Structure 1
């Protein structure tokens, strides 16, 4: 069976009549009626409402030469699979999983809901692949397009999970730097402020005014350094957050384009 376009495939079965004892001069095999009549009668007799639809029945004559020249009559039965069951059970659910994966890009990444949602979709595709492997017959010589379809969707969702992990890593790193920045700012402010009412005894003996001036300059320098570090860390946090957003938006656009191109090419090859 040629299952390349499963479940939109058509199959042909040939039935050959010939005599192996008598040559063509003694026995000639002819059809009893034309192809249209045979197809019409077969449609009336073919009452099974199963997986297959009868398209037509054709016949042809030929001559085969082995040890004798014998006459052959070949009937070819063309049937087509009814794809609705497989479309509802496999193709449509996998497509909706892909749509849900695209929609998951709009979930807030502050928590772990987005990543867990994508992993759930990946596991659902794995279940579909198991169902597909049990559904397809083992006589296929090459990978059917429905297998390529499910495997490609599986890979796309896997790539989106990797992208989500990387974006979450950048955002967590930016938030951690912001928390370290807040802690260091508070510590710097606490350590930079001194009590001008209790200067050391040696400094009192030298010059009180000089001591107050030096303490004020030290406090100003400490605040300037803290503000500079704070601005640098804020720039780093903003840079990481901006990079994460750019990667997320760029990947979403490329992801949608890849899905459209893949489904278009697959549809042209799949549906006759």
Structure 2
């Protein structure tokens, strides 16, 4: 069946009125840079030949429902759409008002592209656009206008918002634009949806554990250096941070223009713990050198103690040599302790400065 183009309410073009409400945010895919939402789309247009006086002609009937295939309907599409499905099923009806306006109501499940800035993840706010445009009619033939203003669209969307998930709807802005395709100008209506992430999950699962790792690393400086437990403990902390870095790698896109601050945070903590491991290895080497000198002194004393006559004859020289070895042993131990304490002070100051600057930039 062919449909006649509607008799225009204006002389030169058809005006299509659109209302768009966001009822839920189903999924936000940072890797794919896409967002899945459920929206309610209302499209209205006028046709003069369908106007009537509801009170004088039809006993107060002001609204009639007809099958959609009886009327001409505008081809309004979504530019950013990757996948569009009807929330339940496509409505087969059109609502006709006595003013000559026809309305369609559709609930759509949309997956649209959205360029995301993840620099402040998980304390980020994203702006995703839904652009409505006709694919067949030029701007001189068809113009799209909003049925409600941005304040009303935001209020209605918040009232109908169903899912309280990871994302919070802040506001909806409406703007006009036009697209030029092969020297043909098409009219556009853009809905900019601003959403904010709820960071609580990421704070307790990633940020807080990594902070505890660096606190434990500072506490590990008070473990006895003579054993190998301190080094094993630090290596375990380093491996734990690396696991969280792998989790972040699966969440964040690799094509980001700027490195997300959470990546800087985890990598910085990873580097600090790695540096403290190198310092621990160096201090252990110095302590081992001092222990080796002490062991040599004890071995010499045991050998000379086997023969009293020999010990008496060589007592003064060996005594001087033992004293030198003891002094050397104490020297290396003293150097190791000074390095350990100095590094601890610098390490704590570095952590404080690093976290202070990061938090100031991150949560501003």
TM over 0.5: yes
Question: Which residue pairs with 1:54 in the alignment?
Answer: 169
Match of 1:259 among 345, 351, 364: 351
Give the Å deviation of 1:163: 1.0
Aligned to 2:252: 136
Name which structure has the greater RCO, CA cutoff 8 Å, separation 6+: 1
Task: Determine the C-alpha separation between the residues in 1 that align with 2:253 and 2:185.
Answer: 38
Matched residue, 1:15: 130
Q: Corresponding residue for 2:237? A: 121
- Structure 2 residue matching 1:72: 3-state secondary structure: strand
Query: Is the CA contact (8 Å cut-off) linking 1:35 and 1:58 kept in structure 2?
Result: yes
Please state if 1:179 is matched with 2:295. yes
Per-residue deviation at 1:44? 1.0
Which residue number in structure 2 is paired with residue 193 of structure 1? 309
Q: Match for residue 323 of structure 2?
A: 231
Instruction: Indicate the residue corresponding to 2:226 in structure 1.
Output: 110
Which protein has the bigger strand share?
Answer: 2
Q: Which moved more, 1:17-26 or 1:242-251?
A: 17-26
Distance 1:113 1:81, change over 3 A: same
* Aligned alpha-carbon RMSD (Å): 2.2
The whole-number CA distance in structure 2 between the counterparts of 1:73 and 1:124 is 49
Map 1:73-88; keep pairs closer than 5 Å.
Answer: 73-88=189-204
CA distance in 2, matches of 1:271, 1:52: 17
Query: Is structure 2 residue 188 aligned with structure 1 residue 96?
Result: no
Deviation readout 1:153-209 (Å, 9 max, x if unpaired): 1121111111111111211221121121122134335456269xxxxxxxxxxxxxx
Unaligned stretches of 5+ residues in structure 1: 196-217
Following superposition, the deviation at residue 91 of structure 1 comes to 0.9
TM-score, normalised with respect to structure 2:
0.63
Q: Could you tell me which residue of structure 1 aligns to residue 339 of structure 2?
A: 247
Q: Which whole-Å deviations, capped at 9, do the CAs of 1:115-155 have from their partners, x for residues lacking one?
A: 11111111211221222222334553443221222122112
In 2, Cα distance between equivalents of 1:132 and 1:163: 28
Give deviations 1:192-239, integer Å, cap 9, x for gaps.
Answer: 6269xxxxxxxxxxxxxxxxxxxxxx83xx222112111111110111
Q: Partners in 2 of 1:135 and 1:15 — Cα distance?
A: 24
CA distance in 1, matches of 2:253, 2:179: 33
Number of the residue aligned with 1:203: none
- Give the TM-score normalised by the residue count of structure 1: 0.83
Determine if the alignment matches structure 1 residue 4 to structure 2 residue 82: no
* TM superposition shift of 1:22: 4.1
**What is the CA–CA distance in structure 2 between the aligned matches of 1:194 and 1:62, rounded to whole Å?**
104
State the Cα distance separating 1:69 from its structure 2 match.
4.2
How far apart in 2 are the matches of 1:38 and 1:254? 55
User: 1:146 maps to which residue?
Assistant: 262
